[in-house]
Amino acid sequence: MDIIETLETLWFNSGFQSFFVNGGWKNLIMIVIACVLLYLGIKKKFEPLLLVGIAFGCLLVNLSYFGPESTDALYHPELWDNFLNSEHQDYHSYGTIMAKGGLLDILYIGVKAGIYPSLIFMGVGAMTDFGPLISNPKSLLLGAAAQMGVFLAFFGAICLGFSGEQAASIGIIGGADGPTAILLTGKLAPELLGPIAIAAYSYMALIPMIQPPLMRLLTTEKERQVKMEQARTVSKTEKIIFPIIVSIFVILLLPSTAPLVGCLMLGNLWRECGVTERLSDTVQNALMNIVTVFLGISVGATTAADRFLSLRTIEIVFLGLTAFAFSTIGGLLIGKLMYKLSGGKINPLIGSAGVSAVPMAARVSQIEGQKANPSNFLLMHAMGPNVAGVIGSAIAAGFLLAVFG
C-alpha cells in the first residue's frame, strides 16, 4: 500500500482541498455566515427554534456540497433543478431524489410538497386563541391593511427585474409569516428559498427594532395614549364555529389557500372543540417540534454557496425589509383611520400588529402603548389584528399562488 498515494487520495477527497478549487472559497464564506446565524439564534435568541436549524442546515450543506461533482453531499441542488425542468427525464420524479439524493434532499421533499409549512400552520392554529379577533371582527381590516408590504415589495421586485414567481415569493416576506413564505417560495421560486426564509425569519426576530420607530413616526402621543374598552367575552360555541366559518368562506374564495387555512383552522378546531385534547396537545407540541426540526434543517440546505452568494440575495434582503416596513405602515394607517372614525376609541398602535408574526408584533404594540400611558393594556386588543394577519397573509399567498402557481 502506497502511503503517499493514500494520503493524496484522502486530501483530494477532503473538503479542505475543495476550498481551494472551483470557487470553494464561497463555501468558506457561507460557513462563516452559518456561524453568525448560529450566534444570532443561540446568543441573541433571534427566532432560535428555526434559525438554529436553518443555520446548521446551511453549515452542513456548505461542508459537503462543492458543486455537482460532490459525491458525499447531503443536498444536491442540481437534482432539484432537474426535478423542476420539464424537459428533463427526472422532471417531477421524487423517485430519483430518493435514489440519488442525500439526507437533506430527502428531508427537503417535505418543503417542496408543501407538507412542513402546512403542518406548522396546524400547530399554530392549535396554539392560537382567536377570541380577541372574534370579539372584535374589525381587527380583520387591520390584518388586511398590513399586507400592503407584500404587494409593494412584489411590485418593487418586478421593477428590479425578478420574474413574477420570484417577485411573489419575495413579496410574501412582508406577510411576516415564515411557513407561508416557505410554502409559497417552495412552490413558485424554490431557487430563492434560502435567502427568502432567512430574510423572513431574521426580520420577524427584528420586529422589536423595525416597528417602534415607524409607530412613533406615524402616530401622535395622544393617539398612543388611547385606552381601549374591554372587548366582550366570546362563548365556547363561537370559538368552535369560527374555524369552520373561516375555512368555508376563505377556501371557497381562494381554493389555493386550502393547505394553509385548512390546516390552521383544523388545528384551532381541535383546540376549541373540547373533545380532542390529545390531538390538540400532540399538534401543539410533539408534531410542531418534529416538523420544526425537519423544516429548519431542510430550508438551511438550500443555502449552497454557489446559489446563495449573489447580488440577488442582497436585493431580496433589501426588498424583504421594505416589505416589512410597508406592512407595518399599512396597518398603522388603517389604525389611524379607525381612530378617527371611532371618535378616538381605537388605539392606532394595534394596527402594526396586523403583520402576523404572532405574538411578537402584538407585544410590540403593548410595549409602545405602555410607554405612552403606563396604565394602557393593548396586548389583547393587538392580538385581534395579529391573528387576522395570519389569515390575511394566507389569503395574500393564496392569491399569488392562484396567479403564478
Partner 1 sequence: MTDYSLFLMRQLSIGEAGVTAILGYCVVFFGLILLMCVLCCTGSYFSSRDTKKETESARTAKGVQNNAVPVQTAVKTSEPAPGSAGHVKLYDVPDREAVLIMAIVADKMQKPLNELHFISIREVKDK
218 near partner 1, judged by CB under 8 A = no
Cell 393547505, located at residue? 259
Q: Which of 74, 111, 140, 204 binds partner 1 (CB under 8 A)?
A: 140
Which amino acid is residue 221, in one-letter code?
A: E
What's the closest the beta carbon of residue 40 comes to partner 1, in angstroms? Answer: 28
DSSP secondary structure, 226-265, as one string: PPPPPPPPPPHHHHHHHHHHHHHHHHHH-GGGHHHHHHHH
Q: Which of 54, 176, 372, 388 binds partner 1 (CB under 8 A)?
A: 388
Q: Which of 236, 285, 314, 340 binds partner 1 (CB under 8 A)?
A: 236
By CB under 8 A, how many residues form the interface with partner 1? 60
Q: Which of 33, 97, 246, 288 binds partner 1 (CB under 8 A)?
A: 246
| Window contacting partner 1 (CB under 8 A); options: 6-14, 29-37, 103-111, 141-149 | 141-149
CA 85 to chain centre: 26
Residues 28-47 as x/- pattern, contact with partner 1 by CB under 8 A: --------------------
**Cβ atoms 298, 57 nearer than 8 A:** yes
Angle at 202 between CA 199 and CA 207, to 5 degrees: 120
**Cβ atoms 207, 174 nearer than 8 A:** no
Percent of residues in the chain assigned helix, strand, coil, to nearest 5: 75, 0, 25
Map the footprint of partner 1 across residues 73-112, applying CB under 8 A.
Answer: 77, 81, 84-87
| Window contacting partner 1 (CB under 8 A); options: 54-62, 157-165, 199-207, 355-363 | 157-165
Map the footprint of partner 1 across residues 295-354, applying CB under 8 A.
Answer: 306-307, 310
Q: Which of 164, 214, 216, 333 binds partner 1 (CB under 8 A)?
A: 164
Q: Which of 48, 96, 106, 191 binds partner 1 (CB under 8 A)?
A: 191
244 near partner 1, judged by CB under 8 A = no
What's the closest the beta carbon of residue 360 comes to partner 1, in angstroms? Answer: 21
Strand, coil or helix: 321: helix
Which amino acid is residue 262, in one-letter code?
A: G
| 405/403 Cα distance (integer angstroms) | 6
Residues near 192 by beta carbon (within 8 Å), at least 6 away in sequence: 166, 169, 170, 185, 312, 316
The radius of gyration of the chain's CA atoms, rounded to the nearest angstrom, is 23
What's the closest the beta carbon of residue 286 comes to partner 1, in angstroms? Answer: 28
**Cβ atoms 21, 15 nearer than 8 A:** no
- The grid coordinates of residue 269 equal 378546531
| 208/205 Cα distance (integer angstroms) | 8
> Which spans of this chain sit near partner 1 (rule: CB under 8 A)?
77, 81, 84-87, 133-135, 137-138, 140-141, 143-145, 147-148, 150-152, 154-155, 158-159, 163-167, 191, 230, 232-238, 241-242, 245-246, 249-250, 253-254, 306-307, 310, 375, 388, 391-392, 395-396, 399-400, 403-404
